[in-house]
Amino acid sequence: MAELADIPNEFIKNEVDEFVEREDERAELIELYSQSAPHLLEIGAAIISGRNEDADRLTVEALERGTGALEVMDDGLIAGMALVGIKFRENFIFVPEVLACARAMKAGMVHIEPILSASGIEPLAKVIMGTVKGDLHDIGKNLCIMLLRGAGFEVIDLGVDTSADEFIDAVEEHDATLVGMSALLTTTMPNMGRTIDAFIDADVRDDVKIMVGGAPVTPEFADEMGADAYGDNAVECVEVAKRLVGVTG
Amino acid sequence: MVGEHSKEFQETGRPVVGEMTGRERVMAALAGQAVDRTPVCNPTSVATVELMDLVDAHFPDANRDGEKMARLAATSYTELGFDSVMPVFTIIQESSALGCEIQWEGKDNWPTVRMSKPIWKSADDVKMPSDFLKHPDITCVLDAIRRLRQELGDEVAIIGKTMGPWTLGYHVFGVEPFLLMSLDDPGHTKLCLDRMKEITVAFGQAQIDAGADALTLPDHATGDLVSGEYYREFLRDLHTELVDEIPIPLILHICGRTVDRMDYIAQTGLAAFHYDSKNDPAESMEIVTDRIALVGNINNPQTLYANGPEQVAEEVVRNLDAGVPLVGPECAIPLQTAIENLKEIPLAVARWHADRDSSLPAASEVQDR
């Protein structure tokens, strides 16, 4: 079993030591980071500190030296975001900092995505994502989408103010098996329930798993509305999505 | 604010129930003074579809027509028995006047700013149009306040609403660009906020001139987005300046978790803080003490929208037991909220006081008023 001292990057070692408190997560991250190549951990460090220009440059350099795109993404970009997610969940950082990290991740993903899509790797599942009708907020949803794509899902982003019909049409058009709905306002949250009811009325509810999230949404509210799962944050959204499609790890 | 007092008030310093109008009650609570019973108010919005139907004043017209706006706002007093009225149901009136693209929606949905289409990029762009106060989405608010003052007189507190610079920043710069700017260039962000403050003051002063008793100041530096230290760095001093520049009580509204910034908020001199159900009433009161009046914090999506009067009463009691000086919903309520649940708030307040003071009227008497 790896130790904290085995992580070959001082910055990440300190970050894990300072911010990761849960024993299981700490062990998992130490294992992950201690096995990663130093040049990929540099990418992770750039992501964690929100340095988009460094993330861009280091990703290009990693690819140029022959590291596979999947490895750069998993052990560099996503590995960095894993720690960002934990810091966000535990309120060590907030949305501005996460946006900066996401901007850095995007700078790296620009170089990874074309390679992955040309290689024909099958997605874990197709996910339809949107903010519910009447709600124009999309920060949380966009963070979820970025991490879902990073984790291997194909995401169809319906944007904001999405009607029940738009969700249903997208599921049918793309043959998707997962739907993610977001709401930021207490006033628009009930539209999640109405959308789920519309899936029932259209006789397509059993064709998909529905996950919901957003600042005012609670697990109890999600349950009462008839959602299959609730995610508290973007990292949890990925875990929930994997669970719903039967993927472990 | 309180007029002629009974002998008992003069002797004990405590008003006898019924001695205060809703307006006096709210204004006294905002000033930290004694009240005959805890005032009930929502400084954001209590508009519902049911109330719209009742007075035939529906969204979106009730957000753009002063007469309909006033008619719908009055229902929080005439139908629900609240101690205040709030005609500004949205948070977008001034953003519309500034040129943001607005989705006005229909009867059963809230209008929203299309924040994906920001109108400004830097402090150089921040400028209040010379005809800002003449824009129809501004004048309708002023018209509504004048009508409410004329129709309701001094019976009920008329609360206006002027958006704080932080929330205006979301609307005019877009949420993501604005939050990233705050991280990338805090100095420039402060310059933007300082310049946008002029808009907050101008709309606020216009509502005071129209007859508003107090103003809600929504400025959504919520714990769901930014840290408590962010509030201290960007907004604490700015809110103190607004207290100096706006001569009537200001009620700050921030959704979400805020206990980590309540101490800073209490340092500003703001009259009140309208707080969310994500914060425990007792813990919140312990932080703010008597430095600022808390207003809230009955949960919207679960308690008021999905549950019944019994659960509403429980949350009212939780706030009263904690010493929260003004009770009401945590935020603008879902439009499909049942009137029955809203009516329960003043009834539960009356019962709570009656349990502690036999001189107070029964809940049924309160309902009749």
Q: Tell me, letter by letter, the H, E, C secondary structure of A51-120.
A: CHHHHHHHHHHHHHCCCCHHHHHHHHHHHHHHHHHHHHHCCCCCHHHHHHHHHHHHHHHHHHHHHHHHHC
Across chain B, what does the average pLDDT equal?
92
Give the other-Cβ count within 10 Å of A86's Cβ.
22
Q: Is the CB of residue B105 less than 8 Å away from at least one CB of chain A?
A: yes
Q: Is the CB of residue B311 less than 8 Å away from at least one CB of chain A?
A: no
Structure-token pair, residue A236: 């949890």
Q: Residue B13 — pLDDT band, cuts 50, 70, 90?
A: low
Q: Is residue B1 part of a domain?
A: no
Q: Is the CB of residue B209 less than 8 Å away from at least one CB of chain A?
A: no
pLDDT value of position B114: 85
pLDDT value of position A146: 79
Can you give the length of chain B in residues? 369
Q: Are A190 and B305 inside 8 Å of each other by CB?
A: yes
- For testing the chain B interface, which of A186, A218, A221 should be mutated: the one with the most B CBs within 10 Å? A186
| pLDDT over 90 at A147, yes or no | no
pLDDT value of position A151: 78
Higher pLDDT, A70 or A120: A70
Q: Is residue B200 part of a domain?
A: yes
Percent of chain A with pLDDT over 90: 66
Expressed as residue numbers, the domain containing B119 is 6-368
Q: Write the CA distances from A29 to A43, A85, B63, integer angstroms.
A: 15, 12, 51
Distance from CA of B201 to the nearest CA of A (A): 26
- For testing the chain B interface, which of A184, A187, A220 should be mutated: the one with the most B CBs within 10 Å? A187
Give the one of B180, B223, B334 whose C-beta lies nearest to A186's C-beta: B334
Residue entry with tokens 């509204």: B253
Burial B127-150 (b: 16+ CB within 10 A, else e): ebeeebbebebbbbbbbbbbbbbe
pLDDT value of position B318: 97
Higher pLDDT, B359 or A5: A5
**B226 interaction partners in chain A (CB closer than 8 Å):** 94-96
Q: Are B336 and A190 inside 8 Å of each other by CB?
A: yes
pLDDT value of position B16: 67
The beta strand positions in B66-207, using DSSP E, are 84-85, 102-103, 112-113, 157-161
| pLDDT over 50 at B368, yes or no | no
Element (DSSP H or E) covering residue B295: strand B293-298
| pLDDT over 60 at A18, yes or no | yes
What integer is the mean pLDDT of B293-321? 95
Structure-token pair, residue B274: 């309208």
Tens of pLDDT, residues B52-71: 999 999 999 999 999 999 99
Distance from CA of B102 to the nearest CA of A (A): 11
| pLDDT over 50 at A34, yes or no | yes
Element (DSSP H or E) covering residue B217: strand B214-218
Cβ–Cβ under 8 Å, residues A13 and A36: no
| pLDDT over 60 at B362, yes or no | no
Can you give the length of chain A in residues? 249
Q: Are A95 and B301 inside 8 Å of each other by CB?
A: no
| pLDDT over 60 at B85, yes or no | yes
- The whole-angstrom separation of Cα B135 and Cα B329 is 30
pLDDT value of position A160: 85
Q: What is the CATH number of the domain that holds B213?
A: 3.20.20.210
The beta strand positions in B94-188, using DSSP E, are 102-103, 112-113, 157-161
Tens of pLDDT, residues B92-105: 999 999 999 998 88
Q: Among A81, A46, A79, which Cα is nearest to A60's?
A: A46
ipTM field:
0.86
What integer is the mean pLDDT of B180-203? 98
Higher pLDDT, A71 or A89: A71
Q: Residue B3 — pLDDT band, cuts 50, 70, 90?
A: very low
Distance from CA of A67 to the nearest CA of B (A): 31
Q: Is residue B264 part of a domain?
A: yes
pLDDT value of position A94: 92
What integer is the mean pLDDT of A62-88? 92
Element (DSSP H or E) covering residue B293: strand B293-298
Strands B102-103 and B112-113: antiparallel
Domains and their CATH numbers in chain A: 10-118 (1.10.1240.10), 126-244 (3.40.50.280)
- The whole-angstrom separation of Cα A25 and Cα A34 is 14
**A160 interaction partners in chain B (CB closer than 8 Å):** 116
DSSP state of B17: T
| pLDDT over 80 at A24, yes or no | yes
Distance from CA of A51 to the nearest CA of B (A): 11
Percent of chain B with pLDDT over 70: 92
pLDDT value of position B358: 61
Structure-token pair, residue B47: 């508009």
The amino acid at B7: K
3-state secondary structure A205-245: HHHCEEEEECCCCCHHHHHHHCCCEECCCHHHHHHHHHHHC
Total count of domains within chain B: 1
| pLDDT over 70 at B366, yes or no | no
Tens of pLDDT, residues B295-305: 999 999 889 99
Q: Is residue B246 part of a domain?
A: yes
Q: Write the CA distances from A3 to A6, A34, A35, A150, integer angstroms.
A: 5, 8, 11, 27
Q: What 3-state class would DSSP assign to A129?
A: strand
Q: Is the peptide bond before B297 cis (omega within 30 degrees of 0)?
A: yes
φ, ψ of residue B290 to 5 degrees: the values are: -105, 20
